[in-house]
Structure formats: structure tokens, C-alpha cells
Amino acid sequence: MTKAGILRAVIFFGGLALLPLGIEPVWVLNLLIFTLMYAALASSWNYIGGYAGYPSLGHAAFFGIGAYSIAIIFEKSVGRGYAPFFMLPVIGIAVAILSIPIGMIAMRTRADVFAIVTITLLFVAQTLAFNLRTVTGGAQGKGIAVPPFAISHFSWPFYYAMLLLLLLSMGISFYFRRSKIGLSLAAVKADEDKAHGVGVPVTFVKIVAFAASVGIAAMVGGVWAYYGGYIYPQFAVDPLITIGMVLMTFLGGRATLWGPVIGAFILVPAQQTFAYQFGGSQFYLLAYAAIFLVIMLILPRGILPTITDRLRTKAKLREISAALTAQEQEASR
Amino acid sequence: MSALLEVHGLTKRFGGITAVDTCTLEVQQGTITALIGPNGSGKTTAFNIITGYLKADAGTISFDGKRVEKPSPASLYRDGLSRTFQQARIFPDLSVLENLVVASSYSLRGLFQTRVSKQDRDRAGEMLEEFKLSSLSDLRGSELSYGQRKLLEFAAVLMSSPKLVLLDEPTAGVNPVMIETMERHIRSRHKEGVTFLIVEHDMQLVMRLCDPVIVLDRGATIAKGTPAEVQTNPLVLDAYLGD
């Protein structure tokens, strides 16, 4: 890890950890919780959608499974309020393991077919949530016991839970990049058949990326459900959640460490602003799409890759011109 | 002595077309064997079947004395059978160095280790040195010329220390100097004990470099022998020139 990288991470996470101390209005903290939530989701979607190049549209299914797990386990009581948070790792690991056979089947397809297969998964999960009434409460939804947190700091535990999940999500992302898993995933993304032909264990790395990715999504879903206190099938397994993480990753830059986070920190506040401005008219969805279109026209590969590419080109040009001047000086002597 | 690669009765049909028709061939240890034939004679299809990219309809393949029941590109590669593609296939977003490291056939446990370790750097560095690509080490694959890509692909598949390398038109579309470079590298690796099976259309190169030469026509082996024998074989002349 470079010094600059450590510094960036310390400033980012340190700043976010201190932020609630200086923020009074509840709505700001609420907005931040959703920003962190989407940053963690986008960051984990990036393992499979970015690094491996498999555009999953089914992540909301796993988000919903996490949400319902928390709702079902903690319907009656949450004790002193922290038990659901301690349950999250169990849910994350369980969902990751259960996703292995699903991933193995879904990842026999590629690209657009994979996107369609995974979006089907989303609707299967939603239909189940609507119809397994004895477990999920069906369309009437399911409530979670209210935690006995102090009113003045009610959101804090959720804020820090989301922050920790973002740290975990980015930590895994960083680890993938630095290990041969990331190298193998990049090979899979570029040319899976060729990667297979040079001995890369393609199925294994794809499954690792998929399982880690949906495990995080499930944990985030758990915190989301607990924070909201009441969940319904159409919101717990919501295509907009899938679309959100995909858009943010595309916006910030696929297959980068910070891209998905940058995307979330732009799009979530933007979405909230538009939703507030245009009220219940749903026009905010159009505005949401419009920003995305504009940025894709200007920066088609996302914000971060475009910027780093430009810097790289500039540095190279400078190198070349420096070499040329050196040559000229040599010649004039 | 049994051959390093034995293919028997290999058959592959695509709809009504039989691309490979009961093809039988052997590659003896320590040779540079050529596989030639007119366009559409099934050379690349045979390659694809042998390396596990396509499933055969019939026939058997043995590599290194063992029958290959279910050919899989990854496991064959790890067992020492490498190949290159007609159109050079490298990973454009990875650096030249990473292109070599990713092909070094690491174990599952190796996956969880550093992306490019000191050892990887040393091993890949030697290979880059041998192929005179050291100065390009940090460039992305996409920044290389076509000839350089061909060299890189060749260098990469050598990272697993293969016993047998299948080259699919190693000199197609590259300049004459690069053809000589490629030939030199094949010879030097051959000296170190690597066996080659080469599909190639440049007949001068085949005649200089390869022995024996196997000729395929309409998916079947029609001749096999030294370059001189094959050149004068009436069946071969008919396949190339006849109607």
C-alpha cells in the first residue's frame, strides 16, 4: 500500500467517523447513511460487475434476503439494540455460501445473458417475499422490534454499521486488487476463454467474487431493514437498488477501488435533491437518468478511469518532451 | 516409444460439415512437428479439440502417456500443454509483466497471495529478457504492436514450463524481421527440450524449421513425412492445387 493510499483511506474513514459529532440535523445524517449504504453496495457490486466483468442485476435479491433475515430473527425483540448488528456476519457468510450454487449456474452464461438471468433471480426473490406469507408476512410487510437507542443519537449505530460495512467492502476490494484474485478476474474480464487456456482457475475466482459480493449486499440489506424498522417485498427486493449500485459503479468507474464510492457520493445526494424538488411526481427518476447520460457522454468509462488516463497521457507527453529538449541541448552543444 | 501427443480417430461435425474427419496424428517427443493443409482443412479445429476448447464427436487423445478423458484448457495447460491463437490473444488491460504472471499457472492457494510477488517479477523478468521485451514491461497489452503481441503471447504460454506447445500460425501477419525472431525463439526453446506442433502457412519457414510435417485435407491426415517427402507427395500436391 502506498503512503498516499494509506493517507487517503485514513482521511476518508477518519473524517466520516467524526462526521456525526458535528452534524445536528437528522435529515443530513439520514442522507449520509443512505450514501454509505450505496457506497458499500456499489463497492461490492464492483467485484463481480467491475473486476470480473459480469454485470449482475440480481444483487437486490441478496440485499432482500439479508433484510428479511434480520426482520424474521428480530421481529419480537432486539434486546439492548445491538444484537442485529452482531448477527450480520453470520448472515453475510450464510448468504455467501448459499450463493455458490446459484453463482455456478448463473455464471455459465455471460454478459447480457448473465444480466437477464440475474434479474430473473431478483423477481423470483420478490415473488417469494410476496407469497411466502407465513415467513415474510407477504404484502403486509414485516416489522422489526424498535431498539432502545436514545432519541438524540438514534441514527448513530446505523451510521457506524454502514460505515464499517463500507470499510469491509472496500477492504475486500483492495485485497482483491492486490492479490492474484484481482489479476485472475481482470484476465477473466478481458478474455475468459484465453484465461482458461493459460491455467487461470476461472470458475473458482468468479465464485469467490460473486459470493463475497452478495454476502456484503445481504449484510447491508440487514442494516437497512433494521434502520427502516419495517420492510415490504417491493422495497426490500427493489430493482432500483440494483440499478442504483450499477449506475454508481459505472459513474465513478468500474474496476477501480474508489470509483463506486465516488459514484455513490454523487448520485445519492443528487437523487435525494431531485426527489425533494420534484416531489412525488417521480420526475426525479428522469433527472437521475439525465445526469447519468450527461456524464456517460463526457466520461464514457466513468469518472476515475477517465481522469487517471488523462493524467497518464500527460505524464507521458511530459516525459517525451523532456527527452526531446535534452536531445536538442545535446545537439546544440 | 509412445508419442508425447497421440490423436486417434478425431471427428468433429458442425451441422452437415465434417470439419475434422477421423483424424489421426502423433507428435513425437523432441520434434518440431508441422501441421499444414489448405484453408478449411481442419487444422485450427483439431487444435481447438486437442486443447479442450471444443468437444469432439468421436476419437481419443493421449498426452504424455495418459488418456485425456475430458480435455479442459486449464488443466491441460497446468499439465504442460500450451497453445497460442491464430489471432494473438493477450490481456489488453494488464501490463506486459502481468500478462506473463497471470499465465504462470499458480495453485488455488497462490490466488490469495500478492498480485505480482518478487518471485513472479524475477521469473517474468527473465522471460522478458529472453524475448527482449523488458523495456515494455510496464506498458499495457493494448499498447503493443501486433508482432509484439504475438511474441508476448508466445512468451506467456512458456511461463508454465510446458512440455508441448501448439502454435497456431505464429508468423501470420507479422513483418519478416519478426518472423526470424519468432523462428529463433522456437529453435532456442526446442533446444531446451520443448516439443512443438505448429500450424503454419509460410511454407519456407515450415521447410526450414519442421520435421516431420503432417498434412491435413478435409479433416483427415493424408500424408506425413520429412519436408522433402511431403513436398513431392502427389496426394499433397493434389490437395493444394487440385480441384
Q: Is residue B111 a part of any domain in this protein?
A: no
> Who's near A82: CB < 8 A, 6+ residues apart?
A157
Q: How confident is the model at residue B243 (pLDDT cuts 50, 70, 90)?
A: low
8 Å CB contact between B230 and B207: no
Q: Which positions in chain B have a beta carbon within 8 angstroms of at least one beta carbon in chain A?
A: 51, 53, 72-74, 77-78, 82-83, 85, 89-94, 98, 101-103, 105-106, 108, 110-116, 156-157, 159-160
B232 is in which domain, residue-wise? Answer: 5-87+164-175+195-241
Q: What is the pLDDT of residues B130-157, one digit of tens each?
A: 999 999 999 999 999 999 999 999 999 9
Q: Is residue B15 a part of any domain in this protein?
A: yes
- Up-side HSE of residue A10: CA atoms within 13 Å toward CB? 7
Q: Is residue B99 a part of any domain in this protein?
A: no
Nearest Cβ partner for A179 among B103, B114, B160: B114
Q: Do A194 and B112 touch (CB under 8 A)?
A: no
Nearest CA-CA partner of B183 in B32, B4, B36 = B32
Instruction: State how far the Cα of B16 lies from the Cα of B133, in Å rounded to an integer.
Output: 45
Is a pLDDT exceeding 90 seen at residue B61?
A: yes
Nearest Cβ partner for A204 among B105, B108, B115: B108
Instruction: State how far the Cα of A19 lies from the Cα of A229, in Å rounded to an integer.
Output: 24
Domains identified in chain B, total number: 1
Q: How confident is the model at residue B213 (pLDDT cuts 50, 70, 90)?
A: very high
Q: What is the CATH number of the domain that holds B32?
A: 3.40.50.300
CATH of domain A3-301: 1.10.3470
List average pLDDT for each run of 10 residues in chain A, which is 333 residues long.
Answer: 88 93 87 96 97 94 96 90 95 96 92 92 93 89 91 92 97 96 96 93 96 97 95 91 91 94 93 78 75 80 89 88 87 79
For chain A, the first-to-last Cα distance in angstroms comes to 44
A189 vs B contacts (CB less than 8 Å)? 93
Instruction: Give the pLDDT score at A208.
Output: 97
Residue to substitute from A183, A203, A204, interface B, most B β-carbons within 10 A: A183
ipTM summary value: 0.90
Q: Do B102 and A196 touch (CB under 8 A)?
A: no
Bridging pattern class, strands B5-14 and B17-27: antiparallel
Rg of chain B over all Cα atoms, to the nearest angstrom? 18
pTM: 0.92
8 Å CB contact between B84 and B156: no
A193 vs B contacts (CB less than 8 Å)? 53, 73
For chain B, the first-to-last Cα distance in angstroms comes to 39
Across the range B66-74, mean pLDDT stands at: 90
What are the structural domain ranges in chain A? Answer: 3-301
- C-alpha torsion A228→A232→A237→A241, nearest 10: -40
Residue A29: φ, ψ to 5°: -65, -40
Assign 3-class secondary structure to A185-250. HHHHHHHHHHHHHCCCCHHHHHHHHHHHHHHHHHHHHHHHHHHHCEECHHHHCCHHHHHHHHHHHH
Instruction: State how far the Cα of A200 lies from the Cα of A202, in Å rounded to an integer.
Output: 5
Q: How far is A168 from chain B (nearest CA, A)?
A: 17
Instruction: State how far the Cα of B136 lies from the Cα of B98, in Å rounded to an integer.
Output: 12
Instruction: Give the pLDDT score at B209.
Output: 92
Q: Do A200 and B74 touch (CB under 8 A)?
A: yes
Instruction: Give the pLDDT score at A281.
Output: 67
> Who's near B102: CB < 8 A, 6+ residues apart?
A180, A183, A184, A186, A187, A195, A198, A200, B91, B94, B156
Residue A211: φ, ψ to 5°: -65, -45
Q: Is residue B10 a part of any domain in this protein?
A: yes
Nearest Cβ partner for B89 among A194, A200, A205: A194
Instruction: For residue A227, give Cα distances in angstroms to A37, A44, A163, A231, B145.
Output: 11, 20, 14, 10, 55
Instruction: For residue A112, give Cα distances in angstroms to A57, A74, A254, B153.
Output: 10, 38, 17, 28
Q: How far is A251 from chain B (nearest CA, A)?
A: 19
Share of chain B above pLDDT 90, in %: 73
